[in-house]
Amino acid sequence: MKLLLNALIKFICGLLLVGLLIFLPAGTFNYIGGWTFLGLLFVPIFVMGIVLLLKAPDLLKKRLDGKEKENTQKSVVAFSALIFITGFVIAGLDFRFGWSNVPTTVVIIASVLFLVAYGLYAEVMRENAYLSRTIEVQENQKVIDTGLYSVVRHPMYMATILLFLMIPIILGSWYAFIIFLAYPIIIALRIKNEEQVLTEQLDGYAEYKQKVKYRIIPFVW
């Protein structure tokens, strides 16, 4: 019950916060892109939360714990939050003043890719029971090298980059898209620090890096 209550509180607070950041700058609730995004984001989160609560409560608890211990990661989290807040506000202002013209077809494609990325994210969570929101090596943790982890070393980040780059397009704002382009750079910095920690503290990770060459984009990086 404590875990359920914690999850519900964070879910509701997240929904209200994102809604406020989108609709307040837009100056209206008659923002279809805003409602579409909220549905695409929070309905899967709700379903995934229920599944984790029933099937993997320990993993859900890890995902709810967002307190970073590494100084580098604290900075990454802070910059990520700034990107998201700025991007949502700009998207709302974009809708209010009509700066962008994103074709409906492009919005639909972005919505489909958003759900595909969510599916990849869910698969990563299924494969990796050690998947914490913070950079840490857990007790008895082992290197995962199967499934998506046999293709890239950080499939979760691969999925989140696709997710977050689709957000401003769903919201109908090219200006917000420019802001969200900073997110992959932030993730690259996070990966650099994360791999340093894992190489030093997780047995077999150095060998895993030799086996799987690419971090988040096959044949690129």
Q: What is the pLDDT of residues 12-50, one digit of tens each?
A: 999 999 999 999 999 999 999 999 999 999 998 888 888
Structural domain including 103 reads: 2-211
Q: Are 99 and 173 in contact (CB under 8 A)?
A: yes
Number of structural domains (the chain) is: 1
pLDDT tens digits for range 72-103 = 667 777 888 899 999 999 999 999 999 999 99
Residue 217 covered by a domain: no
Residue 95 covered by a domain: yes
Query: Nearest-5° angle of CA 133, CA 128, CA 9?
Result: 40
> Tokens 């984790």 appear where?
52
Residue 203 covered by a domain: yes
Residue 204 covered by a domain: yes
Residue 219 covered by a domain: no
Residue 216 covered by a domain: no
pLDDT tens digits for range 154-203 = 998 999 999 999 999 999 999 999 999 999 998 888 888 888 888 888 88
In angstroms, the CA 160 to CA 63 distance is 14
Token pair belonging to 17: 């916060």
Please give the pLDDT value at position 21.
96
Residue 147 covered by a domain: yes
Residue at 181: amino acid letter: L
Q: Are 23 and 92 in contact (CB under 8 A)?
A: yes
Residue 220 covered by a domain: no
| CATH number for the domain harbouring residue 42 | 1.20.120.1630
